[in-house]
A and B are shown apart, each in its own frame.
Chain A
Amino acid sequence: MPEPAFLQIRNLKTHFPVEKGILFRKQIATVKAVDGVSLDLRQGEILGLVGESGCGKSTLGRAILRLLPATGGTVILGGRDLTRLEGAELRAARAEFQMVFQDPYASLNPRMTVFDALAEAIQSHKPVPKSELPARVADLMKKVGLSPRYIRKYPHEFSGGQRQRIAVARALAVEPKLIIADEPVSALDVSIQAQIINLLAKLSREMSLTMIFISHDLSVVKHISDRIAVMYLGKIVELGPAGDVFERPMHPYTKALVSAVPLADPEKEAKRQRIILPGDPPSPMNPPAGCSFHPRCPWQIAECAKVVPQMESLGGPQTATCIRLKEIN
C-alpha cells in the first residue's frame, strides 16, 4: 500500500441491546446491526453499499458519521479517529462529513426557505459575514443545478427531485470531504432519479468528494460506484470493483441479488436464470451460526453452519466471505 486510505473503517460494530421489563430492565438479547465491518476508501472514490432492508447498511452509514454510537472499532478520516471525538471537537469535525437522506420531503424544514436552510448550514461551521451569504447560497444552488431565482421559496414549492438537490446543496454547504448518501434516489421517479445520479457523479468528480452511496437498487449503485460492498446481516459479504461484482458476483447472496434485479429488456429477462432464495432474511437478533447466509443458500453444506467465513479472493481485487468460494466460482 503506497499511502494510507483516506477513510479507514476497522472492525466497526454497532450493537443495540434489546431490553425487557419495566422496573428491572434486563438485557435479553443484542441486535448486531453492524458486526465487524472493515473498509478502505481512497479520496474521491464512490463506494456503493447494497443490501436488503434490515441488513444494517443505513446503520453502518450512520455509525461512520457518529449519528449512532459505535460499540467497537475505529473510523479514521484523514488521519483522525472519529469514534474518539467528543463534544466541541466532534462538532467541529462534522464539517468534514455530511449525509444526504432518502426522503427529501422529510429532511427539509418546511418553515425554512432555501436561503435559510443553506445559510444555517454555512454559518454553523464556517461563518462568513452576513453580506456575503446571499452570494454563497446562490453559488451552492447553481452548483446543484437550481436557479438562484428560487432562493426565497419554501420546500413545498419544489418537486421531489428539486428538494433532493436542496438537500445535496445543504450537505455541500460546509465543504465536506466525505458524503454518505442514504438511498438518495429511492423516493424519486425514474426520470428524476437519473438527474440526481448525474449530479452526484459530477460533484464527486469535480470536488474529488469521497462518497458512500447506500441503496437497495443494485443497478443504480453499479452505475455510479467505483466499488461495491454487499451487506447481509450486519456483515460485508462481498467487495469489489462495481463492474465485476455486478457481472461476475462471487458470493452466493450477491449472485441471488444480481439475478433478482429486474432488467428492462424482455429478451434478457426471458433467457436469464433466476436464483430464487427461499424464505426471508433472518432476524439480526438471532443470526444463524456459521455463515449467516447458509439457511437460504443454494450451495450450503454442513460445514457452513459451523465455520464463520472470512474475506477471501480468487486472485483479483474482488473478495467475498464464503468457504466454498473456489468450488462455486
Chain B
Amino acid sequence: MPLLDVQHLTTSFHTREGIVRAVRDVSFQLDKGQTLGIVGESGSGKSVTCYSLLGLLPQPPARIEAGTARFDQTDLLHCSRQELRSLRGKRVAMIFQDPMTSLNPYLRIGDQLIEPLLIHENMDRKEALGRGIRALEEVGIQDAERRMRGYPHEFSGGMRQRVMIAMALITRPDLLIADEPTTALDVTVQAQILELIKKMQHDLGMAVILVSHDLGVVAGFCDQVQVMYAGRIAETARTGDIFHHPQHPYSLALQKSIPALQPKGAELYTIPGMPPDLSRDVPGCPFAPRCEFAEDPCRTADIQLKPVRTGHASACVRVQQGELNLQTIHA
C-alpha cells in the first residue's frame, strides 16, 4: 500500500470574479522513501495541490470540491481538524519557498525549532533543547548551542532554510513536502540544501514531494516526476522517461525552452501565447491553444491522464491514440 494515495483531488477558489479551478482531478501515489517531483510554471496548481493535502488553504475562498488523500489510514481531506493537527508537523512536514518570511522574527531560533517536540511529543523543554541542538548540527549549522539563542535576522538565507529543514525533520516525519525550497537561494547554496535534503531522506527513509519550477532541480533529485499545466497533470513518469521520452507536447516544449539544454546562441524555442485563465471553463485540452500539434479533437475531447507506456501516463489525446509520436520529434 502506498504511503500517500491522492485520488481525484479538485480544488477551486470561489472569488468575487468567479470560480478559479486551481487543481482539477489530480491523482498520484507515493511510496515510502520515494521522491516525487511536481513541476510546472506559476499558476499551474503545484503548490495548491500540496496546500490542499495539508489543509493549509483558507476556506473560503478555497474549497476542496472532490477527492481523497489517504495517508496511512487517514483521509487528509476529510479527517477532523484534530486528526490533521496531530499529523501535520509530526508525520507530514513542509518546508516553504521563502526562508525569510517563514520564521517568526520575534522568536529565538531555538524556541521555534523545538515547538513541534513540545506540541507533538510532550517532551520537556530541557530535553527538547538538547534535541534541537542535535538537529541543528545534523543540518550542518556550526556552533549550534549558541545559534539556538539567536534570532532569524542573524542568519543568512541558506542558514534559515537549514533551520526550516531541521524544524521540519525534528519529529522524524514519514513525508516531507518541500515547496520550492531553493528558489530564493543562490545556486551554490541551492546545491548545499538539495544535498542536505537528500542526505536526510537517506538517513530517515522518508518520502519527499519536491515542488519546483526548475526542471534541472527535479532532474537531479526525483525518482518520479509529474508535470502540471493549468491545474491538471499533463504527464507523469519516472524521471529519466520524462526527459528522454516526453509524451506530452507541453513537457517537450518546456525542455526546448531551457537555455542550458540548447546549443549556444541558437534561438530558443518559445511557447506561443499564455497559460489559460483558470476562472473560465475551457473545454478540451488546456494546452491546445498553445500546442503546435493540436487538432480539432483536442479542443473538445474529455481530457484524462492515461497510461501510454509502462509507468508513463500522459493527458495528450493524440499521444494516447497513437497519432502523435513525440519521440521522433524529440530526437
Q: Which residues of A contact B186 (CB under 8 A)?
A: 52-53, 216, 281
Q: Is the CB of A276 within 8 A of B213?
A: no
CA–CA, A220 to B262, complex, Å?
A: 10
CA–CA, A195 to B271, complex, Å?
A: 8
Q: With A262-B216, A262-B220, A263-B216 as given contacts, are A190 and B260 in contact (CB-CB < 8 Å)?
A: no
Interface size class of A (residues with CB under 8 A): 35 or more
Q: Which residues of A contact B220 (CB under 8 A)?
A: 262-263, 266, 269-270
Q: Is the CB of A198 within 8 A of B270?
A: yes
**CB contact between A243 and one of B41, B156, B264 (< 8 Å): that residue:** B264
Q: Which residues of B contact A (CB under 8 A)?
A: 41-42, 156-159, 186-192, 195, 213-220, 239-240, 243, 253-255, 257-262, 264-265, 267-271, 274
* Chain A residue nearest to B223 in the complex (CB): A266
Q: Which residues of B contact A52 (CB under 8 A)?
A: 186-189
- For the complex formed, measure the closest distance between the CB of A294 and the CB atoms of chain B, giving whole angstroms: 15
Q: Is the CB of A262 within 8 A of B259?
A: no
- A3 in contact (CB, < 8 A): no
Q: Is the CB of A280 within 8 A of B159?
A: yes
Excluding A52-B186, A223-B262, 4 further A-B contacts by CB distance (< 8 Å) are A194-B259, A197-B259, A218-B187, A259-B191
**CB contact between B219 and one of A190, A217, A266 (< 8 Å): that residue:** A266
Q: Is the CB of A194 within 8 A of B192?
A: no
* Chain A residue nearest to B253 in the complex (CB): A191
* Chain B residue nearest to A52 in the complex (CB): B186
- For the complex formed, measure the closest distance between the CB of A312 and the CB atoms of chain B, giving whole angstroms: 23
* The 10 nearest A-B residue pairs measured at CB: A262-B216, A219-B260, A223-B259, A269-B220, A194-B268, A264-B215, A52-B186, A260-B191, A194-B257, A189-B41
CA–CA, A259 to B188, complex, Å?
A: 9
Q: With A191-B271, A276-B192, A280-B189 as given contacts, are A264 and B42 in contact (CB-CB < 8 Å)?
A: no
CA–CA, A125 to B81, complex, Å?
A: 63
- For the complex formed, measure the closest distance between the CB of A299 and the CB atoms of chain B, giving whole angstroms: 16
Q: Which residues of A contact B239 (CB under 8 A)?
A: 266
- For the complex formed, measure the closest distance between the CB of B48 and the CB atoms of chain A, giving whole angstroms: 16
- A34 in contact (CB, < 8 A): no
Q: Is the CB of B264 within 8 A of A223?
A: yes
Q: Is the CB of B258 within 8 A of A190?
A: yes
Which among A53, A217, A218, A263 has the greatest number of chain B C-beta atoms within 10 A?
A263
- For the complex formed, measure the closest distance between the CB of A263 and the CB atoms of chain B, giving whole angstroms: 5
- For the complex formed, measure the closest distance between the CB of B117 and the CB atoms of chain A, giving whole angstroms: 27
* Chain A residue nearest to B44 in the complex (CB): A189
Secondary structure of the A side of the interface? helix
CA–CA, A263 to B191, complex, Å?
A: 12
Q: Is the CB of B187 within 8 A of A264?
A: no
- A274 in contact (CB, < 8 A): yes
Q: Is the CB of A197 within 8 A of B216?
A: no
- For the complex formed, measure the closest distance between the CB of A148 and the CB atoms of chain B, giving whole angstroms: 19
A residues 243-257 near B (Cβ < 8 Å) are 243, 256-257
Q: Is the CB of B274 within 8 A of A159?
A: yes
Q: Is the CB of B240 within 8 A of A277?
A: no
CA–CA, A261 to B317, complex, Å?
A: 35
CA–CA, A259 to B187, complex, Å?
A: 9
- A32 in contact (CB, < 8 A): no
- For the complex formed, measure the closest distance between the CB of B291 and the CB atoms of chain A, giving whole angstroms: 12
> Can you list 18 A-B contacts (CB < 8 A)?
A52-B187, A53-B157, A189-B213, A191-B41, A201-B265, A201-B267, A223-B262, A223-B265, A242-B264, A256-B188, A261-B187, A262-B190, A263-B220, A264-B215, A264-B243, A276-B192, A277-B192, A280-B189
Q: Is the CB of B243 within 8 A of A194?
A: no
Q: Which residues of B contact A259 (CB under 8 A)?
A: 191
**CB contact between A260 and one of B42, B187, B243, B267 (< 8 Å): that residue:** B187
CA–CA, A265 to B215, complex, Å?
A: 8
* Chain A residue nearest to B196 in the complex (CB): A276
Q: Which residues of B contact A243 (CB under 8 A)?
A: 264
Q: Is the CB of A265 within 8 A of B261?
A: yes
* Chain B residue nearest to A162 in the complex (CB): B274
**CB contact between B258 and one of A195, A256, A264, A276 (< 8 Å): that residue:** A264
- A38 in contact (CB, < 8 A): no
Q: With A223-B262, A243-B264, A261-B216 as given contacts, are A191 and B187 in contact (CB-CB < 8 Å)?
A: no
**CB contact between B268 and one of A198, A262, A269, A274 (< 8 Å): that residue:** A198
Q: Is the CB of A280 within 8 A of B158?
A: yes
- For the complex formed, measure the closest distance between the CB of B30 and the CB atoms of chain A, giving whole angstroms: 19
Q: Which residues of A contact B268 (CB under 8 A)?
A: 194, 197-198, 223
CA–CA, A181 to B156, complex, Å?
A: 27
Q: Which residues of A contact B217 (CB under 8 A)?
A: 262
CA–CA, A280 to B186, complex, Å?
A: 10
- For the complex formed, measure the closest distance between the CB of A223 and the CB atoms of chain B, giving whole angstroms: 4
Q: Which residues of A contact B243 (CB under 8 A)?
A: 264-266
Q: Is the CB of B219 within 8 A of A262?
A: yes
Q: Which residues of B contact A264 (CB under 8 A)?
A: 215-216, 218-219, 243, 255, 258, 260-261
CA–CA, A260 to B260, complex, Å?
A: 13
CA–CA, A220 to B218, complex, Å?
A: 18
CA–CA, A280 to B187, complex, Å?
A: 11
Q: Which residues of A contact B259 (CB under 8 A)?
A: 193-194, 197, 219-220, 222-224
- A132 in contact (CB, < 8 A): no
Q: Which residues of B contact A206 (CB under 8 A)?
A: none
